[in-house]
Structure 1
Amino acid sequence: MWKLLLVALSVCLTKAAKLDEVFAWNELSFAWPSDEIREKALNSGDYVPANNLPLGLDRWKDKLFVTVPRWKAGVAASLGYLPLSSANKTASVIPYPDWKANTLPHGDEKPEDNHIISTFRVKVDQCDRLWVMDTGLADILGEPKQISPPAIVVFDLKTDKLLRRYTLQPTDLKEDSFFANIVVDVDPAECDKAFAYIPDLGEYGLVVYSWADNDSWRVKHNFFYFDPLKGDFNVGGVNFQWTDGVFGLALGPRQQDGYRTLYFHPLASTREFSVNTHVLQNKTVATDPHSYYLFKIEGNRGDLTQASASDFDEKANVLFLTQLNRDGVACWNPKKTLNSQSLALVAQDKEALIFTNDIKVDPERNLWILSDKMPIFIYKQLDASQVNYRIFKAKVDDLIKDTVCSV
């Protein structure tokens, strides 16, 4: 009995030991212009520390971008970054592109084009641009207010200037649309031919945006829906049921014809699907109901493998996925048929990895992981005396070593 316990403990420690904890907070802090401004925000309710939950991340050089959606009132800034040169594990988030762009408009004041109302995830592309999916929705769990329509906001990371704000068209939206992710498909030699893919988890669709045409279209498919048998979650001692549809997106390597495979999955599901991007990038084909069979089922990951975000490491040819019900991260190599045997749990920690909300692979092949105990934040209350939010990184090759993903 004791030997079995020691073996189990050893496995957990091995999986956790691969991770380097870069940041950790009990409550998220921000780099305010002054103590006086911070105190004023606290007194007015514009800043409620307990209501600021980090959710998404991505890296560009020395900046690690972090999103803070406006789930509740009192979010200081929805988009910011952490300087990776800092040795401070509780570093304060610096609003991006600045404080003004992250401040909610008052009264009849109209948001400026570079304004960020509320974003869940962002994507840094190979052309040094930051793509932000701004939902435009504030106080989601309280008194929801649609301050501005959902929009794609793109910044030049070299200058921090706005390049474009594209408001999604009415035909892209439905009554319960909710956009919590964005991935970007671009060849660095042809930056003006980029495409963005945005899943609609609430109305089970995918919006495709063409930078060259400055146009978007909505794609429908049965594979975008949730699995009614896989919507039960037990995370951090909280039991809840979700119906989130298509959510995680990740692009495989570019093929000789210039297109790629887009891997995708609904959050309330254990299946993985795919489609070639030549289907999505052709508006006529993408919106044609007869294109149904151009989408593929990759397989079933197995019980309790529901995932939020995913990302792909091209060199190792490995797809990484969060594992919400298992407090960890898994990998799969598409050279193998997807099933429970070909999925490897490469990181797991029953405390430090409660609700792995986002992951990203950076150009140096580090896997970044953000965990934030979100179900406790939504349904109960986080304990401010404990560490609640963590950001880890690990080398891809170290994570997949001696697993079925390393082939």
Structure 2
Amino acid sequence: MLKDNGTIISTFRVRADECDRLWVMDTGLADILGDATSYATPSLAIFDLYTDKLIRRHYFPESLLKEDSFFANVIIDAERGDCDNAYAYVPDLGGYQVVVYSFKEDKSWRVKHNFFHFDPLSGDYNIGGVNFQWTDGVFGMAVGKRLRDGSRPVYFHAFSSTKEFMVSNRILQNETYSQSPESYYDYKLMGDRGPNSQSSAEFYDAETGIIFYTQVNKDGVGCWNTAKPLTPDTQGLVDSDSDALVFPNDLKVDTEGNLWVLSDRLPMFIFTSLDPAEYNYRILTGQISDIIKGTPCE
């Protein structure tokens, strides 16, 4: 329900937070794969899930945008009981940066780091019989469990990469320090998932401490128990299906211990064509306690 606050042009992802708000990432672009037209700068639209009313619309300042900027994800760092002190982390897969938005200050700023770039050795994809190359940078992000000092780790990875990194949310939330050279060493390499383990989205399950992530080159969904070191041997493949899970594009965990996965055959849509006689879009779900059985994540 936007009323006089404009319209939503092109939503790439949404996220519900612990304060019963829905955050919508609008790229502001139409006909992205054709003659792309920008009708507005990228923005966050925040709705009250109880009333469906728009709480706020924040447009990113032009100064935060690069020529190849593309915002296709949004991650929320919020806690019930302190809802005003919420932050959104918006990865820019084309500009190799992350935009941080403070709800309390209604202000956004960008953070840059070498770890936000793609790995030139991990840009080759073979999905659904389609071979292509992408140079997508930082894409997947997940906010981990609160630590004793009150901070929370923010895990992240570039789409065209097999490595996982981490930085404290306190670094991202400090506008001045996060943009200083000194912050470079606050970013840590967690490890490498192994060959062909490129991933779009990831999601941290607070109940188990497990990060679930898409496995686009494997038509599947992977998992990593954050209590263990990140190595290829500690990565689990909770499911793989060359029909139902062709390009798992997004996933989320609900409050009842279920994992939800969206697959959409995006490479065929972009580079070849979709067969209207087939099921091209699927939403799959499974109980976490069941799907991790027999994996290193258990």
Contact 1:114–1:162 under 8 Å retained in 2: no
Q: C-alpha separation between the residues in 2 aligned to 1:176 and 1:273? A: 23
Unaligned runs of 5+ in 1: 1-96, 102-110
**1:229 counterpart letter in structure 2:** L
- Counterpart check, 1:214 vs 2:120: no
Q: C-alpha separation between the residues in 2 aligned to 1:356 and 1:122? A: 16
Q: C-alpha separation between the residues in 2 aligned to 1:401 and 1:313? A: 16
Q: C-alpha separation between the residues in 2 aligned to 1:365 and 1:145? A: 40
| 1:12-44 Cα distance to aligned partner (Å, 9 max, x none) | xxxxxxxxxxxxxxxxxxxxxxxxxxxxxxxxx
Contact 2:41–2:61 under 8 Å retained in 1: no
Q: C-alpha separation between the residues in 1 aligned to 2:63 and 2:151? A: 26
Unaligned runs of 5+ in 2: none
The alpha carbon displacement at 1:201 in A equals 0.2
Q: 1:341 aligns with which of 218, 229, 233?
A: 233
Q: C-alpha separation between the residues in 2 aligned to 1:214 and 1:387? A: 41
Counterpart in the other structure of 1:240: 132
**2:141 counterpart letter in structure 1:** L
- Counterpart check, 1:365 vs 2:251: no
Identity rate of aligned residues, in percent?
54
- Counterpart check, 1:250 vs 2:250: no
Contact 1:322–1:330 under 8 Å retained in 2: yes
- Counterpart check, 1:381 vs 2:265: no
- Counterpart check, 1:263 vs 2:155: yes
The alpha carbon displacement at 1:358 in A equals 0.3
| 1:49-88 Cα distance to aligned partner (Å, 9 max, x none) | xxxxxxxxxxxxxxxxxxxxxxxxxxxxxxxxxxxxxxxx
Q: C-alpha separation between the residues in 2 aligned to 1:318 and 1:214? A: 31
SS in 1 for 2:136: coil
Contact 1:327–1:355 under 8 Å retained in 2: yes
**1:285 counterpart letter in structure 2:** Y
Give 1:118-267 correspondences, 5 Å limit.
Answer: 118-267=10-159
The alpha carbon displacement at 1:171 in A equals 2.4
The alpha carbon displacement at 1:363 in A equals 1.1
Contact 2:41–2:60 under 8 Å retained in 1: yes
SS in 2 for 1:377: helix
SS in 2 for 1:275: strand
SS in 1 for 2:222: strand
| 1:184-215 Cα distance to aligned partner (Å, 9 max, x none) | 00111011110000000001000000011111
The alpha carbon displacement at 1:397 in A equals 1.1
The alpha carbon displacement at 1:170 in A equals 2.0
| 1:272-296 Cα distance to aligned partner (Å, 9 max, x none) | 0010101111111111121101000
Q: C-alpha separation between the residues in 2 aligned to 1:275 and 1:250? A: 11
Contact 1:171–1:218 under 8 Å retained in 2: no
| Greater relative contact order structure (CA < 8 Å, 6+ sep) | 1
Q: C-alpha separation between the residues in 2 aligned to 1:367 and 1:258? A: 27
Larger Rg: 1
SS in 1 for 2:177: helix
The alignment's C-alpha RMSD in Å is 1.1
The alpha carbon displacement at 1:403 in A equals 1.6
Q: C-alpha separation between the residues in 2 aligned to 1:213 and 1:306? A: 35
| 1:354-382 Cα distance to aligned partner (Å, 9 max, x none) | 00000001111210000011000000110
Normalised to the residue count of structure 1, the TM-score between the two structures is: 0.72
SS in 2 for 1:187: coil
The alpha carbon displacement at 1:175 in A equals 1.0
Counterpart in the other structure of 1:311: 203
**2:216 counterpart letter in structure 1:** L
Counterpart in the other structure of 1:26: none
Q: C-alpha separation between the residues in 1 aligned to 2:97 and 2:84? A: 25
- Counterpart check, 1:398 vs 2:259: no
SS in 1 for 2:228: coil
